[in-house]
Amino acid sequence: MTTNLPFSITLKHILSSFASLVLITLFFITRTSFSPSSSIQPPDNKTLRISNSSTGTKSHSQESVSCNKIPPSLADALIHYAASNVTPQQTHSEISVTKKVLEKKSPCNFLVFGLGYDSLMWSTLNYGGRTIFLEENESWIRQIAEKFPSLESYHVRYNTKVRDAEALMAAARDKEECHSVSTDPRVSACDLALKGLPEVVYETEWDLIMVDAPTGFHEEALGRMTAIYTAGMMARRWKDEGETTDVFVHDVDRKVEDEFSMADYLTEQEGRLRHFTVPSHRGYGVSGGKLCP
Ligand SMILES: *[C@@H]1O[C@H](CO)[C@@H](O)[C@H](O)[C@H]1NC(C)=O
Ligand SMILES: *[C@@H]1O[C@H](CO)[C@@H](O)[C@H](O)[C@H]1NC(C)=O
Ligand SMILES: *[C@@H]1O[C@H](CO)[C@@H](O)[C@H](O)[C@H]1NC(C)=O
């Protein structure tokens, strides 16, 4: 029951999560220092020269500036989690799945359904990239925005309920429009396609999409049917041939999350997190889909 609550606290992972965060942060600092695409440019000469130890002097050459400072936002994130008694909703091993992908793709475009205690972590792990969060609870957005003004989040409305999931799924199976592989969700005739999202969501080519909202732990909750379906659409729609979008669906121990996640491109499952690597279907037109749901 604990982890099925939307903003629940997984206390048993406090220590491992924190240790991992430190490692992750260190990874990014290191990476940042040497990545040419990062906003913090290293000096041209990367060699760290420390004078002959035999001379005993500590005079560093000009090049030694490459020992960069930790960027302030990383420092803030580290301190936040160190001093916080609530930890991200996902377990250490679940987070590690996404971290591995971010190691390769970051800085990149990362779309997250859900705003929570882990949001600062995701945006920090995608340091230098763009991470946006979609959230259905307005007062929660205000609360988090006050605490973490740097996060980019948007309010979204869902018009479904968990109890409608089966009917939605059945209708979608029979409806040809729902099997289209590369339609713009805004013009899709499928009821599962989310239409009211901010423009930026439709216009951005996402590298990663995480579905960890809306709430789905009881029949009256909104459920993730449309979020999962729309994530799949957006993943297939963008990118060039041969490129992929990584999609993550959390809480797949639940019926809706399980049934609606796209089995075709499953790469791995860790705990309650599924990772899909979705190839681009740009230019496939509308035929041939046997995709989610
Ligand atoms: C690095 O330093 C060396 C000597 O200090 C210099 O010859 C070389 O051109 C420098 N490289 C760059 C990329 O500035
Ligand atoms: C470093 O020390 C060695 C002897 O220990 C000396 O021969 C050499 O010239 C020194 N180099 C510099 C840059 O001081
Ligand atoms: C929305 O968030 C607030 C906290 O800001 C919380 O008290 C409330 O229960 C949430 N509403 C729903 C429907 O989850």
- Ligand number nearest to the C-alpha of 63: 1
CB of 44 closer than 6 angstroms to any ligand 1 atom: yes
Q: How far is the CA of 91 from the centre of ligand 3 (A)?
A: 23
pLDDT of residue 222 exceeding 70: yes
Report pLDDT for 209: 95
Q: How far is the CA of 2 from the centre of ligand 3 (A)?
A: 17
Determine the average pLDDT of the residues in 165-172. 82
Report pLDDT for 159: 83
- Ligand number nearest to the C-alpha of 51: 2
Report pLDDT for 261: 63
Report pLDDT for 273: 92
Terminal CA-CA length for the chain: 26
CB of 45 closer than 6 angstroms to any ligand 1 atom: yes
Q: Whose CA is nearest to atom 11 of ligand 2?
A: 52
Q: Whose CA is nearest to atom 8 of ligand 2?
A: 52
Choosing from 52, 57, 60 the residue with most ligand 2 atoms within 8 A of its CB, the one to mutate for a pocket test is 52
- Ligand number nearest to the C-alpha of 54: 2
Q: Whose CA is nearest to atom 11 of ligand 3?
A: 137
Is the pTM higher than 0.75? The answer reads no
- Ligand number nearest to the C-alpha of 139: 3
Q: How confident is the model at residue 201 (pLDDT cuts 50, 70, 90)?
A: very high
CA–CA separation, 17 vs 2, rounded Å? 17
Q: How far is the CA of 46 from the centre of ligand 1 (A)?
A: 9
Report pLDDT for 36: 41
CATH numbers and ranges of domains, the chain: 12-33+70-279 (3.40.50)
Pocket of ligand 3 (CB under 6 A): 137, 139-140, 143
Q: Whose CA is nearest to atom 12 of ligand 2?
A: 52
CA–CA separation, 96 vs 81, rounded Å? 17
pLDDT of residue 293 exceeding 70: no
- Tens of pLDDT, residues 88-102: 789 999 999 999 999
